[in-house]
Amino acid sequence: MKYLNKPSLAAIILTYNEGIHLERCLKSVSKVCSEIIIIDSYSTDSTKQIALNYSAKFYQNSWINYSSQFNWGLDNAEINSEWILRIDADEYLTDKLIENIQTNLPEIKSHYTGIMVNRLMYFMGKPLKRGGMYPIRHLKIWRKGKAICEQRWMDERMKLLNGDITFLEGDLIDHNLNNLTWWIQKHNGYATREAIDILDKKFNFTDFIVLRSSLMGNSEEQRRWLKGIYLDLPLFVRPFVFWFVRYFIQLGLLEGKRGFIWNLLQCGWYRFLVDAKIYEAYNKVGKNRENLIQYFKDEFDYDVTKIG
């Protein structure tokens, strides 16, 4: 493929010990981005050297959570481009998406301030295209100053501050190369943070800026609305409902053994673990807002009343 001139686009990538992934990501974005910005959490591996090899602007900041780190990057990094791309170190762009960004980004009308793209998830080395996993659209590109990362502990999305959203064809590939043991350990931490988000919605720990939920909104707002329906179901019932829908109704079973493992772990075990952590918190300190705030501080050293 012959690459055209790079549009005015800055990639922002958060890193911590991403030596296994970062070069693959940078090879991809360097084809289409005029700036590459790394916000690192004091990596101890080869992350910094890889970033500098690609002439990335390299910043370091202590990690609290994804939202605070990304917004710190938006506020503190030198960004000279008109557009910003959010991409994780274990993600990369397909040639089709690169070509569409190069061709279309300079021509997008001024009332469009955000761009959605499809994300394609890989698991155990192969893509997951059934079970509600594809296509899933995410707001990944926006005009500088027109979006922030919503303030959540888990499953953070970009919130467009004003303007309209358009869509570009081509996929953003999410392909983590770590093993299943790493995945399980990571999701144990995710479950704690998702439990905090769910309890925040019920007990109002914060007044964080979050994406609105709307059946009539864009695809991310629709998914957030559906998540609200899910959360209205009883503890320990909803994981089984979610697993059944993903595996049988949305045909996750057609992914074979990988699909069985994915749906059992991601849609069953993980969702059950989130509920178990909520139940554990209730069991220890009851359903009192102040007691729950203190519980997460004592047990996990999380101040759930603020981010950053």
pLDDT tens digits, 3-28? 557 999 999 999 999 999 999 999 99
Q: How confident is the model at residue 207 (pLDDT cuts 50, 70, 90)?
A: confident
Architecture of the domain spanning 9-174: Alpha-Beta Complex (3.90)
Residue 204 in tokens: 């109002």
The answer, yes or no, to whether residue 191 has pLDDT greater than 90, is yes
Q: What is the pLDDT of residue 211?
A: 85
Question: Which of 67-81, 89-103, 252-266, 294-308 is least confident?
Answer: 294-308
% pLDDT > 90, the chain: 94
Segment 62-101, tens digit of pLDDT: 999 999 999 999 999 999 999 999 999 999 999 999 999 9
The span from the CA of 38 to the CA of 17, in Å, is 12
Q: pLDDT digit string (tens) for 157-176?
A: 999 999 999 999 999 999 99
- Give me the pLDDT at residue 4, please: 58
- CA–CA separation, 96 vs 153, rounded Å? 32
* Residue 39, C-beta contacts closer than 8 angstroms, at least 6 positions apart: 12, 13, 14, 15, 59, 60, 61, 69, 70, 72, 73, 77
| Residue written as token pair 């179901």 | 233
Q: Which residue ranges does the chain devote to CATH 3.90.550.10? A: 9-174
Predicted local confidence at residue 194, as pLDDT: 97
**What pLDDT score was predicted for residue 210?**
81
pLDDT recorded at residue 308 = 58
Instruction: Tell me the pLDDT tens digit for each residue of 98-111.
Output: 999 999 999 999 99
* Residue-level pLDDT at 262: 98
Averaged confidence pLDDT in the chain = 96
Share of the chain above pLDDT 70, in %: 98
Following DSSP, what letter does each residue of 121-175 receive, concatenated?
EEETTEE--STT-SSEEEEEEEETTSEEE---SSS--EEE-SSEEEEEEEEEEE-
Would you say residue 279 has pLDDT above 60? yes
pLDDT at 27: 98
pLDDT over 90 at 38, yes or no? yes
The rounded distance, in Å, linking the Cα atoms of 11 and 238 is: 37
**pLDDT at residue 196 above 90?**
yes
Instruction: Point out which residues pair with 37 in neighbouring strands.
Output: 12, 57
Look at residue 233 and tell me whether its pLDDT is greater than 80.
yes
